[in-house]
């Protein structure tokens, strides 16, 4: 018998979602050629049947095709699911060319996203990346207008620093911050997580499995297809994959004790950090979806967490998250 999916609240907002969400980006682009649309519609619907009610997309994924896919897949379940999407990139001729969070642009994106998602209201609308040319107060104000008009329910930020978070939150309360966080990307722990806790903001880690690395299915001989985004990432060079393997060895030891997979331990570790953290692992395969969902019921004891912490603290992760040109705010 399947266990019922637990739910979590994103901070003080009252927005309740399944403990494990589903990141949909890879169903349309970024990790090699996209699978057939009908297969991905079936996968998203299978996720709903298995208790997932929190789906993550963005206009920039594709661009546009991912929102259309998510909209089509979730039409039959509209009242049962929470769809998060994002604004803030400038898209020209089907390509992402910098950022644009001017208020009038945010409002145009909202209208277009509503149509592609086939919904009357966007549940959670994130600024995809901070725009250095637009004061964050203006961004928060534009989303507040959309909330007052009934077109958006909740406001979110992605990869924002604490000053930006505080300034935005003062104008329009933020429901969630979405940033990269996993056992091999732990930068949010220092000041971001304490700030979110103080302000009552939920946290949605993207790439919670380290873009596949934390599944334990890669080594220095792993190669990626020519259109795979990971070819450009410093952490996926053969040298880095080899150097970072000790983190996988650690996860595998814990996984054996728990009768779980490496990926499940990586996800269970995230869930154990705070009750208001909701990871959104992406996948294009049903067996992986089931595996990821299974992580929500794995209990890591304080002892397990101490062991992981102690071993992880001795491992130096090789390679930056993004190449330098992407670190400046255009990474996905």
Residue 70: CATH number of its domain: 3.20.20.100
Give the pLDDT score at 327.
64
Give the phi and the psi of residue 229 in degrees, each rounded to 5: -55, -30
- Candidates 295, 215, 210; CA nearest to 260 is 295
Active-site annotation holder among 31, 61, 126, 322: 61
129 and 91 Cβ atoms separated by less than 8 Å: no
Domain membership of residue 143 (yes or no) is yes
172 and 154 Cβ atoms separated by less than 8 Å: no
Q: What is the CA radius of gyration of the chain?
A: 19
Q: Indicate the helix (H) or strand (E) that contains 86.
A: strand 82-87
Could you tell me which residues come within 8 angstroms of residue 147 by beta carbon, excluding any fewer than 6 positions away? 153, 154, 155, 172
For 24, left (φ over 0), alpha (ψ -120 to 50), or beta? alpha
Give the pLDDT score at 1.
44
pLDDT digits (tens, 9 = 90+) for 240-297: 888 889 999 999 999 999 999 999 999 999 999 999 999 999 999 999 999 999 999 9
Give the pLDDT score at 57.
98
Residue 84 pairs in a beta bridge with 56, 124
Domain membership of residue 332 (yes or no) is no
Domain membership of residue 45 (yes or no) is yes
Q: What distance in Å separates the CA atoms of residue 60 and residue 152, rounded to the nearest whole number? A: 18
Total count of domains within the chain:
1
β pairing state of 122-127 and 7-9:
unpaired
Domain membership of residue 80 (yes or no) is yes
18 and 5 Cβ atoms separated by less than 8 Å: yes
Domain membership of residue 233 (yes or no) is yes
Give the pLDDT score at 332.
54
Domain membership of residue 73 (yes or no) is yes
Where in the sequence is the domain holding 288, given as residue range(s)? Answer: 7-327
Domain membership of residue 2 (yes or no) is no
Tokens standing for residue 161: 């620093």
Give the pLDDT score at 30.
80
Domain membership of residue 274 (yes or no) is yes
Give the pLDDT score at 44.
98
Q: Is 61 a catalytic residue?
A: yes
Give the pLDDT score at 324.
77
Q: What distance in Å separates the CA atoms of residue 296 and residue 298, rounded to the nearest whole number? A: 6
Which residue ranges of the chain lie beneath pLDDT 70? 1-3, 326-332
Q: What distance in Å separates the CA atoms of residue 120 and residue 59, rounded to the nearest whole number? A: 16
Q: What distance in Å separates the CA atoms of residue 316 and residue 72, rounded to the nearest whole number? A: 43
Largest CA distance in the chain: 54
26, HSE (Cβ side, Cα atoms, 13 Å): 19
């Amino acid at each position: 018998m399947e266990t019922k999916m637990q739910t979590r609240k994103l901070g003080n907002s009252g927005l309740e979602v399944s403990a494990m969400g589903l990141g949909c980006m890879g169903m349309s682009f970024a990790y090699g050629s996209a699978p057939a649309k009908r297969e991905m519609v079936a996968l998203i619907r299978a996720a709903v049947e298995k208790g997932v009610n929190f789906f993550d997309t963005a206009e920039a994924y594709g661009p546009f095709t991912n929102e259309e896919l998510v909209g089509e897949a979730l039409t039959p379940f509209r009242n049962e699911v929470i769809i998060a999407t994002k604004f803030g990139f400038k898209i020209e001729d089907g390509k992402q060319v910098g950022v644009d969070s001017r208020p009038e642009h945010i409002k145009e994106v909202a209208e277009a996203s509503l149509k592609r998602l086939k919904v009357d209201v966007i549940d959670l609308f994130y600024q995809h990346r901070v725009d250095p040319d637009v004061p964050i107060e203006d961004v928060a104000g534009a989303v507040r207008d959309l909330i007052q008009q009934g077109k958006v329910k909740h406001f979110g930020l992605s990869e924002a620093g604490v000053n930006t978070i505080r300034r935005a939150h003062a104008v329009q309360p933020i429901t969630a911050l979405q940033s990269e966080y996993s056992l091999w990307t732990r930068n949010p722990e220092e000041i971001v997580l304490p700030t979110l806790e103080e302000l009552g903001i939920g946290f949605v880690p993207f790439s919670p499995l380290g873009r596949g690395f934390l599944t334990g299915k890669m080594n220095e001989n792993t190669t990626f297809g020519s259109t795979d985004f990971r070819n450009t990432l410093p952490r996926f060079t053969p040298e880095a994959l080899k150097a970072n393997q000790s983190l996988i060895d650690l996860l595998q030891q814990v996984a054996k004790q728990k009768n779980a997979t490496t990926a499940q331990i990586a996800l269970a570790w995230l869930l154990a950090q705070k009750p208001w953290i909701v990871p959104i692992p992406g996948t294009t395969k049903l067996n992986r979806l089931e595996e990821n969902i299974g992580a929500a019921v794995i209990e890591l004891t304080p002892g397990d967490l101490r062991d992981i912490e102690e071993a992880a603290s001795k491992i130096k992760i090789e390679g930056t998250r993004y190449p330098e040109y992407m670190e400046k705010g255009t990474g996905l």
